Structure 1
Amino acid sequence: MTPVYRAALGGDFEKLHPNIQWRYGVDSTSGIAQVTSGIVESVYCTSKLTPPVLRMFRRRNVMPTTTSRLVPFFMDNYCYRDERGRENLAVIRRFAYSTGEQRLHSLLVNGSGGLVDYFGDGPDMLIPLNPRVGEGGSLVLESEPMQMLSRGMKLGMRGLFSTSMRYVEEWDDEEQRFRLDATVRNVTLGEIMHFRGWFTAADQPCTIHDIPDEAWPLRLEDRE
């Protein structure tokens, strides 16, 4: 199988920084998972979302809901093929707040129309992604408007509800570690969420039996 980012970027994958290529050069046949640890220097969640929405997002692992600084951060990547034969990259992000851990679960899939990212345990959101190579060989992800998912329905978030994501991952030569910068914005509310920080990464052996349950969504989602 072809790694999800290599399939999405084509020949441009080779323009990524070598360490970014290493990060995303594995697939479901590699027998490798990648574990990372670091610090989120700033994590922010808007106060403009209602408490019921925040509780749902936190319970379903859609996004962290607590604003803080210097939060220990862990991000684990697992590759597998789903029941439809699609290459998947599951990303489990953990924010170790002093008040308790919060998570952001996402699943990147090589869909029929390109790269899509499913957020939350349901999954609860569908995010079509446009990846490209940025300055210094960084990986830049810019999304089209997000869509809410519920059983049997896909609800587009457009107009006043239009919400998009931008994610940048790069290699810091001076500090010899990775940096990330993620922002979610709504046209009405402005910045909904961001987290920015650094991490180091390592490969570890991983078979299909070693993949944790939370890497699998509660339902197989074939809407792209």
Structure 2
Amino acid sequence: MTSIFRTVMGSDFDRLHPQLRRRFSVGLTSGEACTGHGVMDRIWHGRGFVKPFLALGGTRNILVPRAGRDVPFTIENVPYTDGFGRETVTFVRTFDLPGGPRRFDAQMVLGPRGDRVLDYLGTHQHLASDLHFSAEADGSLLIRSGEHRFREGPVDLRVPELLGGQAEVRESFDDTTGRFRIRVRVVNRRFGPLFGYEGSFRATYADVRTSGVRAGLRPVREEARA
């Protein structure tokens, strides 16, 4: 077995910078978890009408309802087996904003056909998105989101493009500073930029078989539907 990210990228995974290959090799096979500590140079929002939606999402740790500069943050990537027997990797980001920390939670699993990663968002996994991974010529990683779906009880709806946002994540490694750099943009095709952040961090690794998954890192409710 191998990490869910190497599986979905295939030979493209080997084109990544060596530090990115290690970071995205976290999983049950490697037995490693990765924690990043750094600073977001900027967390930004789009036009004013997006703020109520960001505030609503913030109640379930989806997106970040406040903007800021030079914001300390932590990202925790910890592998575990979820309640449906799937290997899962946490992408839990905690932003130390004035007035109290804010979290942006995601849990990633391999799609049923092994050709995509499923990104379940929030404390209750109400939102799910397809993620597509590719290596850039400079060894950086590009992640683009695909279709979004909303799940609550019997409700299972595709989110129309008019309401949803397309996410683009770029992650690279700076050999000069020894830091990972990350830039995230969420854009609506009609209304333009909605939300994003950019910054840098250093990563440390731990044996997940020893450290385990800390309390509060897993979601309150897990979603089985892909």
Name the TM tier (shorter chain).
over 0.9
* 1:145 Cα deviation from its structure 2 partner: 3.0
Unaligned runs of 5+ in 2: none
Q: Does 77-86 or 2-11 show the bigger shift?
A: 77-86
8 Å contact from structure 1 (residues 35, 201) kept in 2: yes
Q: Equivalents in 1 of 2:178, 2:161: separation in Å?
A: 42
State the identity %.
28
Instruction: Report whether the alignment pairs 1:35 with 2:35.
Output: yes
**Residue 42 to residue 216, structure 1, CA distance change in 2 (3 Å):** same
Residue-by-residue CA offset, 1:47-81 (whole Å, 9 max, x unaligned): 21253x33331121001111111100110110012
Q: Structure 2 length normalisation: TM-score?
A: 0.91
1:48 correspondence with 2:49: yes
Deviates more, 1:136-145 or 1:148-157: 148-157
Matches within 5 A, 1:53-202: 53-113=53-113, 114-202=116-204
What is the deviation of 1:159?
4.0
> Per the alignment, in what secondary structure is the counterpart of residue 220 of structure 1?
coil
Unaligned segments of structure 1, at least 5 residues: none
Deviation at 1:165, TM superposition (A): 0.7
What RMSD, in angstroms, separates the aligned Cα atoms of the two structures? 1.7
Compare 202-211 and 170-179 and name the one that shifted more: 202-211
- The 8 Å contact of residues 40 and 69 in structure 1, kept in 2 or not, is answered as yes
Residues in 2 aligned to 1:204 and 1:143: alpha-carbon distance in whole angstroms: 29
Say how many residue pairs are matched: 223
Separation in 2 of the partners of 1:71 and 1:200? 15
Would you identify which runs of 4 or more consecutive aligned residues in structure 1 move more than 4 Å?
A: none
TM-score, normalising length from structure 1?
0.92
Superposed CA deviations along residues 151-206 of structure 1, whole A, max 9, x for unmatched, are: 22222122422421111110112222110001111123311110100000010232
Residue 218 (structure 2) aligns with:
216
